[in-house]
């Protein structure tokens, strides 16, 4: 292969920054074009996400290939955090699953789904049932309020915003150019791809909606938004040590404890391309479920109440499409963006640098190249 050394990346959200850092570290000249006016407002879905890295918990609601991508990604995130000059909160203390006695049927259903995926993949850690005393040892803050729980070992989370900032600092440190307030179309950027050895990567998430066709091929559109509402709280009286999910037939929630008693509580999942402010109903449901997990949330302070839409393809799975020579679209990360992004990026890098898609095939990532389209 020739040795391509420059790229335009559309979108400085999660995928754009992650891919940009990999490329600048490999010696490429990179320009990112981001529609947001400044770093504070950039990041789309990645800015509001809880950034949980929970392949086992997610296996109850997603396909085994997403779980496989998540398992691949966990050590990749760990290695990336260790290599960044500024610290980013990252932990692998597992996930705790709780339910109220009346929702035991929901818990059985959840556990059965986890075990089915574990049996299919063969490489997932087993969920560990905890009785009340074991739960009190594992997570003392909820002792006495729940009779049993499930512990999912090895799962992780990170501070998404700190990660976005650290990636941006790394991009700058390697001389990448980031253009803010630079809303772009794929057509604009494709003109640049005619320069020898220049690549274009479209990482605009939902901003790429108009250019993600519904053509019936694998990974085709339409790309849609799935609305999520999340609350960010400061709760000095709460000391959860790991992401905790409350199973509930109507409003399941998660509580992701970040550093310094900040908690991200989410998230609703509504089939709507609607970024209007959070509804009263959603806010009540999220906050009362959090209060049911720990009464210390009563005195918490609401730092933010955010709404964003998850970029989602019809099959709810991520996909990569090589639209034209050296023009690659990455999208459809839905509710698993942090979980799968390192796998998606590595698969794209392998295609760009080595000219094949073995990793995508291994992980079951839809990766459409001109060759697969004509095959
Ligand atoms: C409420 C919520 C909670 C979530 N929680 C989790 C979680 O716990 N774990 C997990 O793994 N995932 C989670 N996700 C999913 C994750 O955030 C997304 O899948 C991920 O951010 C998608 O990454 P992306 O890079 O494709 O898009 P984004 O992160 O949305 O980035 C797209 C970027 O492109 C820019 N852009 C858009 N249009 C243009 C244009 N025309 N020109 C230039 N730039 C443009 C945007 O401003 C943005 O900066 C959550 C999402 C939401 C909404």
Q: Which of 160, 167, 205 to mutate to test the pocket of ligand 1 (most atoms within 8 A of CB)?
A: 205
The four Cα atoms 65, 104, 143, 301 give a dihedral, to 10 degrees, of 70
- Kindly list the protein residues whose Cβ atom lies closer than 6 A to any atom of ligand 1: 10-16, 33-36, 42-46, 48-52, 183-184, 203-205, 207, 228, 230, 266-267, 308, 310-311, 331, 333-339
Residue of 105, 103, 104, 148 lying closest to 129 (CA atoms): 148
Task: Round to whole Å and give the CA distance between 264 and 159.
Answer: 10
For position 1, what pLDDT does the model report?
47
Distances (CA, A) of 3 to 19, 52, 197, 307, 356: 17, 36, 7, 42, 15
Q: Are 53 and 237 in contact (CB under 8 A)?
A: no
Ligand 1 atom nearest 340 alpha carbon: 11
Q: Choose which CATH entry (3.10.20.30, 3.50.50.60, 3.30.565.10, 3.30.1360.120) describes domain 6-49+160-223+314-374.
A: 3.50.50.60
Give start-end residues of each CATH 3.50.50.60 domain in the chain: 6-49+160-223+314-374
Query: Is the Cβ–Cβ distance between 318 and 14 less than 8 Å?
Result: no
Q: Work out whether strand 262-266 and strand 327-331 pair parallel, antiparallel, or are unpaired.
A: unpaired
Give residue 192's pLDDT.
74
Dump pLDDT digits (tens) for 226-244.
999 999 999 999 999 999 9
- Mutate which of 8, 9, 20, 45 for ligand 1? The one with the most ligand atoms within 8 Å of its CB, which is 45
Ligand 1 pocket test, pick from 61, 328, 333, 341 with the greatest ligand atom count within 8 Å of Cβ, gives 333
| 310 CA distance to ligand 1 middle (Å) | 6
Of the chain, the end-to-end C-alpha distance in Å amounts to: 22
Residue nearest to atom 14 of ligand 1 (CA): 335
Q: Which ranges of the chain have pLDDT less than 70? A: 1-4, 373-375
CATH, domain range 95-153+224-310: 3.30.9.10
Taking the CA of residue 42 as reference, the ligand 1 atom at the shortest distance is 49
Which atom belonging to ligand 1 lies closest to the Cα atom of 207? 38
């Amino acid at each position: 292969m020739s040795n391509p050394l420059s790229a335009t990346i559309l979108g400085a959200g999660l995928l754009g920054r992650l891919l940009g850092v990999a490329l600048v570290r490999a010696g490429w000249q990179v320009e990112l074009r981001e529609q947001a006016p400044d770093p504070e407002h950039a990041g789309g879905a990645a800015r509001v996400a809880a950034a949980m890295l929970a392949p086992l918990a997610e296996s109850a609601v997603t396909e085994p290939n997403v779980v496989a991508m998540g398992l691949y990604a966990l050590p990749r995130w760990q290695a990336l955090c260790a290599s960044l000059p500024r610290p980013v909160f990252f932990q692998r203390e597992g996930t705790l699953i709780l339910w109220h006695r009346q929702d035991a049927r929901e818990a059985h259903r959840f556990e059965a789904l986890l075990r089915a995926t574990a049996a299919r993949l063969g490489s997932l850690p087993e969920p560990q049932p905890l009785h009340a005393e074991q739960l009190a040892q594992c997570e003392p803050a909820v002792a006495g309020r729940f009779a049993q729980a499930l512990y999912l070992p090895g799962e992780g989370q990170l501070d998404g915003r700190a990660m976005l900032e650290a990636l941006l600092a790394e991009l700058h440190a390697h001389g990448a150019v980031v253009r803010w307030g630079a809303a772009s179309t794929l057509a604009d950027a494709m003109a640049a791809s005619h320069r020898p050895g220049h690549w274009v990567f479209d990482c605009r998430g939902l901003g790429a909606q108009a250019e993600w066709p519904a053509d019936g091929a694998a990974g085709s559109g339409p790309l849609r938004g799935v609305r999520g509402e999340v609350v960010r709280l400061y709760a000095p009286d709460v000391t959860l040590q790991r992401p905790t999910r409350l199973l509930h037939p109507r409003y399941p929630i998660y509580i992701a404890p970040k550093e310094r008693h900040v908690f991200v509580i989410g998230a609703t999942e509504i089939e709507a391309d609607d970024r209007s402010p959070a509804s009263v109903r959603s806010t009540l449901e999220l906050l009362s479920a959090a209060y049911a997990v720990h009464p210390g949330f009563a005195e918490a302070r609401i730092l933010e109440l955010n709404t964003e839409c998850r970029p989602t393809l019809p099959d709810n799975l991520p996909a990569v499409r090589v639209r034209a020579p050296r023009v690659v679209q990455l999208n459809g990360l839905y509710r698993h963006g942090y979980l799968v992004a390192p796998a998606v990026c590595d698969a794209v890098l392998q295609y760009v640098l080595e000219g094949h898609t073995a990793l995508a095939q291994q992980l079951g990532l839809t990766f459409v190249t001109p060759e697969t389209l004509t095959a």
